[in-house]
Structure formats: structure tokens, C-alpha cells
Amino acid sequence: MTAPVLVTGAGSGIGRAIVEALRAADVPVWAAARRDTHLQALAALGAWPLRLDVRDAAQVQAAAAAVAAQGQGLGGLVHNAGVGGIAPLAGWPDADLQALFDTNVFGPHRLTNALLPALLAARGRIVCIGSMGGSITAPTMGPYTMSKHALEAYAECLRQELAPHGVAVSIVQPGAVATDIGDNGREGNLARLAATPPPFDTLAADVAESIRAPVAPDPAAPESALNRRFAPPSAVAAVVMQALQSPQPQARYLVGTRWESDRVVDALITRLIDAARSPSQGMDEAALLERVRQAWRSQGGAGGAPEDEAAR
């Protein structure tokens, strides 16, 4: 890919690692961030710094105008900008929920639409940085995982709509990654946890204590919900490079430990069984397993790689 790629949320963490990987491959990069210090550091990497808050419609339009004026087109768009947040659902004010969705869901939609002419002209790629939380959820993670479930649907619909026009869309689904997202949202998380009403306040208090006095993971102990393994941002960046450069990119890529991936697979299996056993289906075990075998073979499960619709 020789046309430029635009990466949002490029100031640190996963976004910064993606910019570094692209520049190492000599790909020109529009590196979007909000802080002056981040923009200066990105320029030092040889990227074109771009001030962009995906919640701001005027800044989104200005970014699209800058890409058009630069004249090299746009070969790829990586939606990495995102925010987190924790607290029991009862502790989430409407304004906090709306702000989270404005960045994690409306932001990608807003920016994609502004850049669609350039992406269509280049028959480019779009990569959304989602989360394993787009398939699973857990107590206190509701709104964040809701936003990532929505991003899953957005990416899948976009993939189907743009495939006939030569634009491939993938979503990368990381597990735990060593970034600043938790520190950046620390005060907001503590405020929501403190305001959580009974009977959920006990759970909220326990989570608040874990934020104030975090326990470092024990590498000698098995991985669990309380003993996570954090992947480096470079691991996610490597998969993003595959999605941007592969002749036949996958629709979805999981990135993380086997323990994390197993949680996703188990959740999807449970949904599949629930659907098969619904009264309108009445499918028995043998019939369901045969459907799974057929799908596995048709999608290259024997070791081959099927042609993805988005790459045709």
C-alpha cells in the first residue's frame, strides 16, 4: 500500500504502535491526535500530524479537506480512537454513556463518511479497533462493551456495503493491552463508582479499591479475570498491518492470550446452542455439529484461507 493511511487516536498506545509499524514499512501516515505533545512526537516519526477529535464534526470535515488537498489520496483508515469506562450500569449517567458512544461508535461513522470519497477512489481499506468486549461482557463493563458490540455491527454492515465497491473492512478485537486507557479514565471511573446506588454499591466499592491499589499480574500464576496478561500495543499493530496489506483480509482478527480468546469462543458457542435449541429451530446436537463442520470446511477450516467477500 503506497497511498497514505490515516490513524486516529495515534498519540499513544495502540495508535502510536500502528503509526510506527506503518512508518517502518515506509507507508505515509496521517497521524491524528488531540494533544500538542503527541502531535509533535508523531511529526518526529515522519508522520503528518493531524489535530482531530472524532467527536467534533468541524474537525472531521477539516481532516477530510486536508487529505483531499494533500493530493495523494487515502489507502487506509484505522479507527483506533476510543475511550473506556467502568461502573455498574446503575452508576452510569446518561451524559457519560452518550460521551462514550460519541467517541467509540459515532466517531468512526462520522469520520468514515467524511473520507468515503477518497477511500472509494483508492479502493482502500478500513480497520476498526474493536475489542473482545464486542462479543462478551462482564459486571461493571456494560457500557464499554455495549459500544464495542455496536462497533462490531457497524464494521460488519460497512464491510458488506463497501465490498462491491472494492473497499475491504476488518475489525481487530484485542484483549487486554498495555495502554493508558485505564489511567486516562481513572477519575471518571472513580466518580461513577462512588455514585453507584445500593445494592450495587458493594461491587462498586470493591472495584474502586482495585483501581486505587492495583495488584500487579503474577506471571507464574494461571491467567484469570484477576490475573490478566497484557499484550504490548505492537502485537495489535502487527495484526492491523495484516488487515491493511493482505490480499484477502479477514473480517475479524482476535488478538490476545488463549485464555482471553477462549472466553470469546465459549460465549459464541453458547449463543449458537441457544439459537439452535430455540423452539423455531429445534435443531439437535448432530444437526448443529454437521452445520458447524460444513461452515468450517467452506471457510477453509482444513488449513486453507477462503476468499473474503470484502477482498473480491
Residues with catalytic roles: 144
**Rg over CA atoms, the chain:** 20
> What b/e sequence results for 198-231 when a residue is b if at least 16 CB atoms lie within 10 Å of its CB, and e otherwise?
eebbebbeebbeeeeeeeeeeeeeebeeeeebeb
**Residue 127, strand partner residues:** 78, 170
Helix (H, G, I), strand (E, B) or coil at 212: helix
Across the beta sheet with 125-129, what order do the strands follow?
Answer: 48-51, 29-33, 5-7, 76-79, 125-129, 168-174, 252-255
The half-sphere exposure of 101 on its side-chain side, counting CA atoms within 13 A, is 14
| Cell numbers that stand for 248 in this block | 484477502
CB 132 within 8 A of CB 264: yes
Residues 6+ apart with CB under 8 A from 227: 217, 218, 221
